A and B are shown apart, each in its own frame.
Chain A
Amino acid sequence: MTPPPGDRLRAIAMRVCDGKTIERVIDPMVADLRIEHHNALTLGQLWKSRWIRFAGCLTFIQVLVICGCQRVLQRAEGWTADDHRALGRTIGISTVAIVAATLLLLAAPMRIVPVRAYTSDWWRMLAYLTPQAIPLALPVGFTLGILWGLRRRAVSRHVKTAVLTLAIICSLGSFGTMAWIRPAANQAFREFTFSRIARDRNAPTDTALPRGTNELTLAELRQRMDSPHAHHIDRNIAFTYHMVWALPWATLALALFALSINSWHIRSISLAVIGFSTYLGYYLVLVAGRTYALDGTLPAFVAAWLPNIVCAASSAALAKVSSTQTNVGLA
């Protein structure tokens, strides 16, 4: 015997909705759905009864989305005007800084490639190079956004949660870019540049370019890691593989660092210096880790995650110092 329509939907709702929503929204919807379905079957309208079941599912999804949005809005009601301003300023400054950093990072490779190769296809070059720039631009832009947007203020729990959620979203986006989009874009960029240069020199342009380490996707890197080859290449590939996992989380690690020092009463220029120094420090640790990973001193996994670990540890220490100072000040 088939269960009455809406039975499973109601069971799902019981798991995700509160009692009031079940009583006021879900139960009336399911009861009406069952009556409508029953009436259609009584009249022998089989297809209509199927349509009612399908429409009931769509309605159920819509109701869940609306209830979810209402819950989020109710939570957002606890926000003060100051919280809204602080978060808006942080997002605004971060966006500007990320765009500026991306353009700055794009400028360098655009200058290296011969002008003839890209003047007619600049949009194509932009599409190929942007995925390389974004994972590097996101951490620095977001860090500067937090440092300037929330400078010299006690940040509420709401804002901290929102900023860290944004950092996680940026990190996930950055991971997707590094793992799949960047390798494809890198390879396309190399093939495009090679074909232009070969054409100018009247050389054959149909030669297939082998993929380098930076042009391999996550799955391909894993595959190469597992195949038994020369030691040095293995280490390089192993480090690149772990770096693809670790580097995107620089945004979150640096955001934690920025949140731990944002309440310091220092000048804006000092904040900028601290922001850039932290960013440079992160990459210096990454480069040092890579060197140690390639000569076998450090395991590739540890070397790739080392900057994030250092950053998170220093953030925790600084946050503890800041909270101690605040408590002393309040006392």
Chain B
Amino acid sequence: MFAASQPPLLIISLTTCKISDVSTSLRVPTLSGKESVILELLVRDGELYGLQLVAASKRRLKRGTVYVTLGRMEDKGYVTSRLEDPSPESGGLPRRVYRPTALGRRVLMAWTDVVRRLMPEFGR
């Protein structure tokens, strides 16, 4: 039997398990530079295609990285996408159009606020 001062091994392992679960589920969402640009544009304009994002970003986004970044943001739950009906112009491939999720909007707001608060006085 365990001594009164020592917690049983099972309780220790369960506590450790809970702590590790909490630490992974409470991971603070972060935004990279490209992700914040994409979210800003989507929040401003609503729904956009990948190329429209590149055009609207004024060279802050590149063709080569925008689709990968959008895919990653979809995995994180910041944006969602839907497929349009395939048109003959796109050779039968449906275009994918992106819009921000509620989480994406909240993360952008929080991130903008954090950046504004942490930015030095001379940078504002």
CA distance A67 to B69 in the complex (A): 11
Instruction: Tell me if A24 and B90 are in contact (CB < 8 A).
Output: no
Instruction: Tell me if A27 and B64 are in contact (CB < 8 A).
Output: no
| Stretch from A55-63, A192-200, A233-241 that touches the partner | A55-63
CA distance A34 to B89 in the complex (A): 7
Instruction: Tell me if A32 and B68 are in contact (CB < 8 A).
Output: no
Closest-CB distance, A27 to chain B (whole angstroms):
6
Instruction: Tell me if B90 and A34 are in contact (CB < 8 A).
Output: yes
Closest-CB distance, A59 to chain B (whole angstroms):
4
The interface residues of chain A, by DSSP majority, are classed as helix
CA distance A214 to B111 in the complex (A): 64
Name the A residues within 8 Å of B50 (CB-CB).
28-29, 32
- Whether A35 touches B64, Cβ cut-off 8 Å, given contacts A27-B96, A28-B50, A29-B50, is no
CA distance A31 to B102 in the complex (A): 27
- Whether A35 touches B95, Cβ cut-off 8 Å, given contacts A29-B50, A62-B65, is yes
Instruction: Tell me if A32 and B51 are in contact (CB < 8 A).
Output: yes
Name the B residues within 8 Å of A25 (CB-CB).
67-68, 71
Name the A residues within 8 Å of B87 (CB-CB).
35
Name the A residues within 8 Å of B90 (CB-CB).
31, 34-35, 38
- Whether A35 touches B89, Cβ cut-off 8 Å, given contacts A28-B50, A28-B95, is yes
Q: Is A7 an interface residue (CB 8 A)?
A: yes
Number of interface residues of B (CB under 8 A): 21
Q: Which of A28, A34, A55, A66 has the most CB of B within 10 A?
A: A28
Number of interface residues of A (CB under 8 A): 27
The interface residues of chain B, by DSSP majority, are classed as helix
Closest-CB distance, B102 to chain A (whole angstroms):
21
Q: Is A243 an interface residue (CB 8 A)?
A: no
- Whether A29 touches B95, Cβ cut-off 8 Å, given contacts A34-B89, A36-B51, A38-B89, is no
Residue of A nearest to B72 (CB): A70
Closest-CB distance, A16 to chain B (whole angstroms):
15
Q: Is A4 an interface residue (CB 8 A)?
A: yes
Of A32, A34, A36, A62, which contacts B64 at CB under 8 A? A62
Instruction: Tell me if B95 and A66 are in contact (CB < 8 A).
Output: no
Q: Is A125 an interface residue (CB 8 A)?
A: no
CA distance A7 to B95 in the complex (A): 15
- Whether A27 touches B93, Cβ cut-off 8 Å, given contacts A32-B49, A32-B51, A66-B68, is yes
Instruction: Tell me if B94 and A31 are in contact (CB < 8 A).
Output: yes
Q: Is A30 an interface residue (CB 8 A)?
A: yes
Residue of B nearest to A33 (CB): B51
Name the B residues within 8 Å of A32 (CB-CB).
49-51, 95
Name the B residues within 8 Å of A31 (CB-CB).
90-91, 93-96
B-contacting residues of A (Cβ < 8 Å)? 4, 6-7, 21, 24-32, 34-36, 38-39, 55, 58-59, 61-63, 66-67, 70
Given A59-B63, A66-B65, 7 further pairs, Cβ under 8 A: A21-B71, A27-B96, A29-B63, A31-B93, A35-B89, A58-B63, A66-B68
A-contacting residues of B (Cβ < 8 Å)? 49-51, 62-65, 67-68, 70-71, 74, 81, 87, 89-91, 93-96
Supply 26 A–B pairs (Cβ within 8 Å), ascending by A.
A4-B91, A24-B74, A25-B68, A27-B96, A28-B67, A28-B81, A28-B96, A29-B50, A29-B63, A31-B95, A34-B90, A34-B93, A35-B87, A35-B89, A35-B90, A39-B89, A55-B63, A59-B63, A61-B64, A62-B62, A62-B63, A62-B65, A63-B64, A63-B68, A66-B64, A66-B68
